[in-house]
Amino acid sequence: MSYTPLSTGIHVDSSRRLWAMVTAQSTYAFGVTNDGLLMHLHWGPRLVSLADLPSAILKPERSSQEPALSQATEEYPPFGGLRYGETAAKVTFADGTRELDLRFATAEVTERDGLPALIVTLRDAAYPLTVQLCYKVDVENDLIIRSATFASEANETLRIERAFSAVWHLPRQYAPRTLTTLAGQWLGETRLQQRPLVAGTALIESRRGITGATANPWFAIESTFETTTETYFGALAWSGNWVIRATTDIMGTTAVAGGIHEHDFTWLLQSGESFTTPEFVAGFAQDGLNGARRRLHHYTREQVLPKPQVLQPRPVLYNSWEATFFDVTEEGQRKLAERAARLGVELFVVDDGWFPARVNDHAGLGDWRPDPVKFPHGLKPLSEYVKSLGMQFGLWVEPEMVNADSDLYRAHPDWIYHFPRRPRSEARNQLVLNMARTDVQAYLIEVLDKLVAENGIDFLKWDMNRPISEPGWSDEIERGGEAREIWVRHALGVYAVMDALRASHPDLVIESCSSGGSRADLGILRRTDQIWTSDNTHPEARLFIQEGFSLVFPARVMVAWVTDQGRGLLPVAYRCHVSMLGTLGIGGNLVHWSDAEMDEVANWIAIYKEIRPLVQDGDQYWLLSPHATHGEVAAVEYVTAEEAVVFAFRRADLFGELLPRLRLLKLQPEANYRIEVLGQNDSASYAASGAALMSYGLSLPLKRGPFASCIVRLRKQ
Ligand code: GLA
């Protein structure tokens, strides 16, 4: 008997009130019970027929302590009734009722953002409140993109106290599961953490008002079925407070819930208004973490990153921070720019220290105009000089911040988050502007717009160096509003300013920075083009940080500089190769670099430009994980239909032993590849078939000694 599998797209079985979203390799399905509850039915390998799915039912209670609803796998379980598992929503109505009772109302198959979409409307059984669940389907990348919209027609205001983006149910199974998350801190972001998923809750979160470095809003859950590693993974597109909880019961049922953190969260919903959650993207892959990585990268490039920038190669940049810190002078920057141009740099970025009073981190934030002492004729002469050297011009800003010692703060002390009778906590001597205020947003749009327009700025590095504290907004309370909304409104305010700036400067590129990688998420990437991965630029640390970062973000987003970290201790090639894994940048004090160093780095930059399309937009496979090898070896392959490039790193060579051959992935077995070691003049090219390279493997041309690295290019003949 032969099957014709369900085609990809969205399928409906109206008689059984059942829906299935079929992607290239997965199926996600739910149905409605007789009582109108929306019940999850399947998420996993692609199904062949809708008939293979059971109808949705509410299973009876197991005991009085295990009521039916507490065991149900509802798509969007609200707080209400006998529910004690993970809940997605909680609302308090004007009459004090603190429960929701959401029942199925309608479902519509449509299109959103160019993707097939299913919109399911749930309606409260007693109150005029609807929750619309949106499921977009990325067929090629096996992803479901979920969000929820609350809308009220009640005459009174209601309080939303939890509004998650999604609850994802993983099927029960026999094999144990491992949860992978990314944890970190300043100078050490996105490091892989793995733990067995046992009964209980694993929680990752940020309560800082920004995405944070403590954890990234991403998860992967893996298990092995026969010979296949099955991976459920997801990423939240949100730059404010967030939480993701993976809760497993004793029977092995796992639900992953996440969205805007309910910590200190309330949103007032007025009649006729709506509130939409951020998107939570999740997928199912049968080729492990590399498969999850590839799917998120494709999705990010195709659906998230701003156009037209995503269609252009990301330029090699120079950033002055580690070279000069606050000691910025026009003369000094000109010298650096000349040296950078000699290297082949395409974008020159002046970091912190260019605005008034900014000689250290105690003053100046908020006054976004050139320091008349350091730049007597403004920034324009420097910008023009940089352009005359053939480079674009970029500038560092930190728009959400003020120092108490700034003209902006002196003029508007009420513009920062504060409680009137409490001290205003400073971190790095900074206070946070209330980005929820429309006057603050308008002011920033005006100031940044002027800065960009007047100085020929092609690129902004948008920093954010401290978490939010004293989240008060007394004016809003006086107006009858709710100050707890600031946690959400801050992120929305940042988005709004960036969106406005991009609308008036469509070619502007923005880099998201937050003390390194503290604001790295798919929400900020809708309006920024790249992310400053970490303030830690030491190549050894970077391999770990970059492996973790790469699980979520494509290489074009991952900015990596060659600095003076490791200079003199690690080979120039090794330092360059680590940074060439992403969007290459240079951040050392070039004035001190010898001619030999300059030439060698210039050579690597030229090589980078040759392989850049492959690195920035090819499929990325970490063949040897530094996490798994404790940093001893690492290897990354970037591959397209035409070619591949492999980077390999070996930290120590204690015993003078050759490494095993490296088996490559995703080459075309029947094709012959010309193999060339880049940057090594003494090595001849040779040929091998894709099949041989994937089964027999590639001998790694690593030189003897510590910190050896190589780049091997393979081109289809
Ligand atoms: C943050 C950034 C750095 C640099 C400094 C400037 O720490 O991560 O790259 O821009 O701010 O103050």
pLDDT digits (tens, 9 = 90+) for 620-656: 999 999 999 999 999 999 999 999 999 999 999 999 9
189 touches ligand 1 (CB under 6 Å): no
Q: Which runs of E-coded beta strand occur in 186-315?
A: 188-196, 200-206, 218-225, 228-236, 242-248, 254-260, 267-269, 274-276, 280-285
Per-residue pLDDT band for 32 (boundaries 50, 70, 90) equals very high
Altogether, the residues listed in the chain come to a count of: 717
396 touches ligand 1 (CB under 6 Å): yes
Backbone angles phi, psi at 113, to 5 degrees: 50, 35
The three-state secondary structure class of 274 is strand
Q: For residue 413, how far is its CA from the centre of ligand 1 (angstroms)?
A: 25
With a cut of 70, say whether residue 181 has pLDDT above it.
Answer: yes
Percentage of the chain surpassing pLDDT 90?
97
Residue carrying the six token digits 């639900």: 255
Q: For a substitution probing ligand 1, which of 185, 321, 462, 518 has the most ligand atoms within 8 Å of its CB?
A: 321
Task: Write the residue with the smallest CA distance to atom 11 of ligand 1.
Answer: 515
Share the mean pLDDT of the chain.
97
Q: Rounded distance, CA 377 to CA 65, Å?
A: 75
515 touches ligand 1 (CB under 6 Å): yes
Tell me how far CA of residue 123 lies from CA of 130, 464, 681, in angstroms.
4, 40, 69
pTM attached to this predicted model: 0.98
351 touches ligand 1 (CB under 6 Å): yes
Q: For residue 416, how far is its CA from the centre of ligand 1 (angstroms)?
A: 21
321 touches ligand 1 (CB under 6 Å): yes
With a cut of 80, say whether residue 682 has pLDDT above it.
Answer: no
Stretch 321-348: mean pLDDT, rounded? Answer: 98
Q: For residue 138, how far is its CA from the centre of ligand 1 (angstroms)?
A: 36
Task: Write the residue with the smallest CA distance to atom 1 of ligand 1.
Answer: 515
213 touches ligand 1 (CB under 6 Å): no
Per-residue pLDDT band for 2 (boundaries 50, 70, 90) equals low
Per-residue pLDDT band for 4 (boundaries 50, 70, 90) equals low
Tens digits of residue pLDDT in 110-144? 999 999 999 999 999 999 999 999 999 999 999 99
With a cut of 70, say whether residue 1 has pLDDT above it.
Answer: no
Q: Rounded distance, CA 280 to CA 237, Å?
A: 6
319 touches ligand 1 (CB under 6 Å): no
Per-residue pLDDT band for 684 (boundaries 50, 70, 90) equals confident
Contacts 24+ apart (CB under 8 A), 376-384: 376/330, 378/454, 378/455, 379/350, 379/354, 379/455, 380/454, 380/455, 380/456, 381/330, 382/330, 382/333, 382/334, 382/337, 382/350, 383/455, 383/456, 383/457, 384/456
Longest dimension (CA), the chain: 82
Q: Rounded distance, CA 85 to CA 76, Å?
A: 12
**Secondary-structure breakdown of the chain: helix, strand, coil percentages, each rounded to the nearest 5:** 25, 35, 45
Q: Rounded distance, CA 59 to CA 448, Å?
A: 57
Q: For residue 332, how far is its CA from the centre of ligand 1 (angstroms)?
A: 19
Q: Rounded distance, CA 146 to CA 522, Å?
A: 13
Q: For residue 640, how far is its CA from the centre of ligand 1 (angstroms)?
A: 35
Instruction: Tell me how crowded residue 656 is: count the other CB atoms within 10 A of its CB.
Output: 7
Stretch 175-195: mean pLDDT, rounded? Answer: 97
Tens digits of residue pLDDT in 39-49? 999 999 999 99
Q: Rounded distance, CA 103 to CA 113, Å?
A: 27
Instruction: Tell me how crowded residue 168 is: count the other CB atoms within 10 A of its CB.
Output: 27
H/E stretch holding 122 reads strand 115-124
User: In this structure, are residues 244 and 256 in contact, taking their beta carbons and an 8 Å threshold?
Assistant: yes
Q: For residue 634, how far is its CA from the centre of ligand 1 (angstroms)?
A: 28
Q: For a substitution probing ligand 1, which of 319, 428, 511, 513 has the most ligand atoms within 8 Å of its CB?
A: 513
350 touches ligand 1 (CB under 6 Å): no
Q: How high is the pLDDT of residue 67?
A: 96
User: In this structure, are residues 529 and 558 in contact, taking their beta carbons and an 8 Å threshold?
Assistant: no
User: In this structure, are residues 456 and 384 in contact, taking their beta carbons and an 8 Å threshold?
Assistant: yes
465 touches ligand 1 (CB under 6 Å): yes
Task: Write the residue with the smallest CA distance to atom 4 of ligand 1.
Answer: 321
Q: Which two tokens stand for residue 142?
A: 């096996």
- The residues assigned a catalytic role are 463, 535
Q: Rounded distance, CA 220 to CA 283, Å?
A: 9
Burial of 126 (0-12, 13-18, 19+ CB in 10 A): exposed
Per-residue pLDDT band for 265 (boundaries 50, 70, 90) equals very high
CA 348 to mean position of chain CA atoms: 25
Q: Rounded distance, CA 267 to CA 272, Å?
A: 14
- Is the bond preceding 308 in cis, omega lying within 30 degrees of 0? yes
Tens digits of residue pLDDT in 391-429? 999 999 999 999 999 999 999 999 999 999 999 999 999
Q: How high is the pLDDT of residue 298?
A: 98
Q: How high is the pLDDT of residue 227?
A: 87
462 touches ligand 1 (CB under 6 Å): no
Q: Rounded distance, CA 539 to CA 554, Å?
A: 19
Q: For residue 463, how far is its CA from the centre of ligand 1 (angstroms)?
A: 7
Stretch 176-180: mean pLDDT, rounded? Answer: 96
H/E stretch holding 143 reads strand 143-152
User: In this structure, are residues 519 and 210 in contact, taking their beta carbons and an 8 Å threshold?
Assistant: yes
If phi over 0 gives left and psi between -120 and 50 gives alpha, with beta otherwise, what is residue 142? left
